[in-house]
Amino acid sequence: MQSLLRGREVVALVFIFNLFFNESYQLTGLQVCSLCGGTVQNDTDVGQFCSRSAGRIDRRCCLSNDNTSDPERIIGLDLSNCSLTQVEDLPGASKVFMIDLSLNPIVNISEKVFLGFLDLNYLILPQDLVCPGGNFSWQKVEVTQGKRFCEGQKNMCNQTGQMSMNCPENSRCDPYGPGLFECICAENYHGYKCLRQGEFPAVKVFGPLAASMVVMSFLLWVSQRRKAKSL
């Protein structure tokens, strides 16, 4: 079990590297709103959500600010029927509440896309894609008319739910998007499993729950065990 956890953390670190690497390539601004042509129609899920939230439609986005002094943020993103074959990144949309990716020939979608999407509570996908983090990361999953609806993002740190992932001692669990959480070392602790003490910027360890990640961890664990045996 210890090794399994270690394997998972290695994977998590790889995740972080990818994240930083990608960040330097991120597009900025509202480019995500023009990933394809057209504007949000008022009879769609995002269109209706936008008018309920008193948002403003800009191309494929619904924008809103809580507070006139705050900058507007993307609260809805309608990329349905966009001929998208893949989605790698949705820069600038991490505060989004609703995303529609239906009616696109997307084959698979990386969990990484939704890293940090804490407010995402309504995601519409082509029916063959699974909800990020799996069914169990959502309150309700429904499939109708070629679309998969992932509703109500669950908090992965909620110990009263079925979640059994624990953060190491001296660290705190924070949700980090669908099926994702991060363990943040307590003040003055850092390093692997937050075991070292002293002044140091907090090290974040993500615990991706995605099935693929668990499989990878398992493979790492097996290979480590084999190495250990052959010593």
Ligand X SMILES: *[C@@H]1O[C@H](CO)[C@@H](O)[C@H](O)[C@H]1NC(C)=O
- Cα separation, 87 vs 135, in Å, equals 20
Paired residues of 172 in beta bridges: 184
219 binds ligand X per the rule CB under 6 A: no
Which single residue brings its beta carbon nearest to ligand X? 67
> Which residue in 123, 156, 161 sits closest to 141, CA to CA?
123
Q: Which residue has the tokens 């960040």?
A: 23
User: Contact between 107 and ligand X (CB under 6 A)?
Assistant: yes
208: region left, alpha or beta (phi > 0 left; psi from -120 to 50 alpha): beta
When binding is defined by CB under 6 A, the residue of 18, 27, 56, 143 that contacts ligand X is 143
Name the DSSP class of 69.
Answer: T
Choice from 31, 158, 188, 223 touching ligand X (CB under 6 A):
158
Residue 104 CA neighbour count, 13 Å, CB half: 22
**Binder among 3, 22, 81, 170 for ligand X (CB under 6 A):** 81
Kindly state the number of chain residues that form the binding site for ligand X, as judged by CB under 6 A. 16
DSSP structure class, residue 170: T
- Does 164 engage in binding with ligand X (CB under 6 A)? no
Can you tell me the distance from the alpha carbon of 92 to that of 114, in angstroms, rounded to the nearest whole number? 12
The residue within the footprint of ligand X, chosen from 146, 152, 161, 191 (CB under 6 A), is: 161
Nearer to ligand X among residue 110 and residue 121 (C-beta): 110
Binding residue for ligand X, selected from 3, 94, 110, 121, defined by CB under 6 A:
110
How far is 133 from 209, CA to CA, in rounded Å?
6
By CB under 6 A, tell whether 155 contacts ligand X. yes
Binder of ligand X out of 2, 24, 28, 67 (CB under 6 A): 67
* Interaction of residue 69 with ligand X, rule CB under 6 A: yes
Residues that bind ligand X (CB under 6 A): 42, 67, 69-70, 81, 103, 107-108, 110, 135, 141, 143, 155, 158, 160-161
